[in-house]
Amino acid sequence: MAGRKGGDRKKAVTRSVKAGLQFPVGRIGRYLKKGRYAQRVGSGAPVYLAAVLEYLAAEVLELAGNAAKDNKKTRIIPRHLLLAVRNDQELGRLLVRPAPQEVPRRRREGGQVAQEEDHRQVPQEEGRRQGVAARTHGLASVA
């Protein structure tokens, strides 16, 4: 009989390990599907999103660690995270919460109010610094 024996099975390798990431690719994919952001979700989308989230987390944690060290502390507290985001120009623009009057509105037919999509993009700067995640994962931009 040509069958498999019980002990010949290989150990499962997660998509996070295959991509070299710490963030859970499978869980992010499940959230993308469950959230109904689109009818279908491509196989590369959760990997890419996990990489982006991991990069942002590494950047914020690096800056927060620097803020903690500046305050002669060994533990990062929420205040250090706040200082890290506020003192970095790009992260400050990315993570700013717009005030209600800043959100443009338009009227649809029938009198319903709909919010405009926000098409902000962070402009690419010439001498952009290379963060810790870019150095460790080889995400450095070719300039």
With 0-12 / 13-18 / 19 or more C-beta atoms within 10 angstroms meaning exposed / middle / buried, residue 25 is: buried
Q: Give domain status of residue 32, yes or no.
A: yes
pTM: 0.64
The domain that contains 51 carries what CATH number? 1.10.20.10
Output the pLDDT for position 9. Answer: 84
Q: Give domain status of residue 66, yes or no.
A: yes
Coil/strand/helix, residue 56: helix
**Count of domains forming the chain:** 1
Domain enclosing residue 70, as ranges: 15-95
Per-10-residue mean pLDDT of the chain, 143 residues long, equals 69 97 98 94 97 98 98 97 95 83 62 55 56 55 46
Which of 45, 17, 16 has the alpha carbon at shortest distance from 31? 45
Output the pLDDT for position 96. Answer: 86
Output the pLDDT for position 142. Answer: 47
Query: What is the identity of the amino acid at 136?
Result: T
